[in-house]
């Protein structure tokens, strides 16, 4: 995995050893039995299901406990946090409701954390029928933040002690259509935590369902991108905005000027509130 990843002390390895894993699932209007069966859970889990009612109960599943929470609320950041703040295991694996975990995922995840005690977050691959975001590089530490939350395995205490959670204003069902996962990693990076990216696949995605937020580069998507850029604290040079507007306008009916202005409006909005 490279010298940087393997250069650890025995003391550090012992102090950072992890033993337990819990899955947190952000679900929307899901049937309990169907979802649990589809997820192929082999560990404890917390499923936060946004629907039209409230309730909480614990379900036994092959020797594991699944905490099921129903809430009549919306917003994926809020949904993830409902489970995140209730989690108790050493390592937390983030999931969406359209995934199926592969057999043995617990052993793979824990082994990687124990082999790499420097890692606070590990970003995994997801199996897709039409892969567009596959991780093909060798394991490496990264400063990039553009990964979906359903790829995250998190060393819970290390991240919670830094008061890091999912932003309530970004993501499907929220004010700004996406980015709660990007902001989560951005905050981890800003607070000195280490993000390890690995090519291992631990779950498969059913990508037959239409996205709840990604409908291409609409005016709202471009505006929201501007808000997200600003929220990340990116170096918003004019050249970066020009490149973005040029690329989007080439494959979109909107003009370069329209795209550039929408992006700028989103950036300005973030700094004005």
92: confidence class by pLDDT, cuts 50, 70, 90:
very high
Percent of the chain with pLDDT over 90: 74
Q: Could you read off the pLDDT of 203-219 as tens digits, one per residue?
A: 999 876 656 556 678 99
pLDDT score for 68: 97
pLDDT score for 8: 46
d(CA 44, CA 26): 15
d(CA 207, CA 11): 43
Pick the CATH number of 3-205 from 3.90.550.10, 3.40.50.800, 3.30.390.50, 3.40.50.40: 3.90.550.10
Residue spans of the domains in the chain: they are 3-205, 219-272
Number of other residues whose CB lies within 10 A of the CB of residue 132: 6
Tell me the average pLDDT across 221-226: 94
10: confidence class by pLDDT, cuts 50, 70, 90:
low
Tell me the average pLDDT across 115-137: 85
pLDDT score for 4: 46
Tokens of residue 48, six digits: 């936060």
Q: Residue 6 pLDDT > 60, yes or no?
A: no
pLDDT score for 211: 60
H or E, element range at 79:
helix 76-84
Number of other residues whose CB lies within 10 A of the CB of residue 28: 17
pLDDT score for 67: 97
Tell me the average pLDDT across 188-196: 96
Q: Could you read off the pLDDT of 29-82 as tens digits, one per residue?
A: 999 999 999 999 999 999 999 999 999 999 999 899 999 999 999 999 999 999
Q: Residue 234 pLDDT > 50, yes or no?
A: yes
């Amino acid at each position: 995995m490279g010298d940087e990843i393997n250069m650890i002390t025995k003391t550090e390895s012992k102090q950072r050893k992890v033993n337990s894993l819990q899955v947190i699932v952000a679900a929307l209007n899901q049937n309990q039995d169907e979802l649990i069966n589809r997820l192929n859970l082999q560990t404890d889990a917390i499923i936060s299901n946004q629907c039209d009612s409230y309730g909480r109960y614990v379900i036994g599943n092959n020797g594991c406990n699944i905490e099921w929470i129903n809430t009549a609320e919306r917003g994926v950041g809020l949904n993830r946090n409902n489970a995140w703040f209730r989690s108790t295991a050493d390592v937390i694996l983030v999931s969406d409701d359209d995934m199926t975990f592969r057999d043995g995922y617990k052993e793979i995840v824990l082994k990687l954390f124990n082999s790499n005690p420097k890692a606070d977050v590990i970003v995994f691959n997801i199996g897709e029928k039409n892969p567009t975001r596959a991780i093909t590089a060798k394991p490496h530490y990264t400063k990039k933040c553009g990964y979906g939350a359903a790829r995250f395995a998190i060393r819970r205490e290390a991240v919670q002690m830094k008061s890091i959670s999912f932003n309530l204003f970004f993501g499907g069902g929220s004010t700004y259509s996406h980015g709660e996962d990007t902001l989560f990693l951005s905050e981890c990076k800003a607070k000195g935590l280490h993000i390890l990216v690995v090519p291992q696949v631990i779950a498969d995605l059913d990508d037959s369902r239409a996205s709840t937020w990604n409908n291409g580069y609409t005016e709202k998507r471009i505006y929201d991108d501007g808000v997200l850029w600003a929220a990340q604290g990116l170096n918003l040079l004019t050249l970066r905005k020009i490149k973005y507007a040029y690329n989007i306008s080439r494959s979109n009916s909107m003009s370069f000027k329209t795209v550039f202005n929408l992006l700028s409006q989103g950036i300005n909005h973030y700094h004005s509130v």
